[in-house]
Structure 1
């Protein structure tokens, strides 16, 4: 995708990304509440148990609508199965961090900074089958702004409340 294509993307993609950010914030808050009344492991089990139940219901509803496959597709690479492990660890760690002095905004700010940094590394090294792409000055500036914004939230956000 070229920069021009990215700039001319349909607005629904930006609305969807913004909405998922809001849902992520809501999820981290709810998981933090579960951890506060139980513990972080209980929070992770509850979140993933709910996801399994929703997935089973969705599969049962969609079972009859599936079109037959003409040919067998290749299996997923081994590292694709690690998503569950990282998801469980993410819920446990964010549930713990939300209930620390960082609070919800600090936890999300550091999480966003980590996501941007790791995605730049994945692009740079060509991880997960991605084409190698060297981060440019705009990428580094974006990471710097995210880290700076997170630091402002963590260091100076408490006095405003």
Structure 2
């Protein structure tokens, strides 16, 4: 399997996702609440994904398959809601770049832990000096960008 198309798709999604917090910040300013803006945004996201499921198919969503998943897996929806609400509340204060550098740094820390422990069914990939160096560079970049 070639990774490059997937990497380019992830890059494109990352670019588009960077527009979401400032757009939600504008919505929050209009409605007077970051959480209200997040609710509207997630409602639209829900309608969009329902439409996509109707077009592309839904796999096997059934009581049996949904019951076979550990309860805590469903917290991923809460994580998504927290991200949207945080973007609406934080990005207007920090700006998009600092917001996302901090988000990415947090994701890297979390991802390093997930890889190290093989959490959520991933293959174990131990922490290493190079991984720590890469993480330190991102954190250093966050400090540099926030100073400008």
Q: TM-score, normalised by structure 2?
A: 0.84
**Cα gap change, 1:140/1:42 in structure 2, threshold over 3 Å: closer, same or farther?**
same
* Aligned equivalent of 1:46, options 28, 40, 49: 40
Partner of 2:30: 37
- Structure 1, unaligned runs of 5 or more: 157-161
- Relative contact order (C-alpha < 8 Å, sep 6+): which is higher? 2
Contact kept, 8 Å, 2:37 with 2:85, in 1: the verdict is yes
Partner of 2:79: 86
Q: TM-score, normalised by structure 1?
A: 0.78
Q: Write 1 or 2 for the structure with the bigger share of helix.
A: 2
Which has more radius of gyration?
1
Q: Distance in 1 between matches of 2:46 and 2:6?
A: 27
Q: Distance in 2 between matches of 1:150 and 1:67?
A: 40
CA distances 1:116-143 after superposition (whole Å, capped 9, x unpaired): 0000011122221223321112211111
Q: Distance in 1 between matches of 2:48 and 2:10?
A: 22
**Cα gap change, 1:62/1:29 in structure 2, threshold over 3 Å: closer, same or farther?**
same
Tell me how large the CA RMSD over aligned residues is. Answer: 2.4
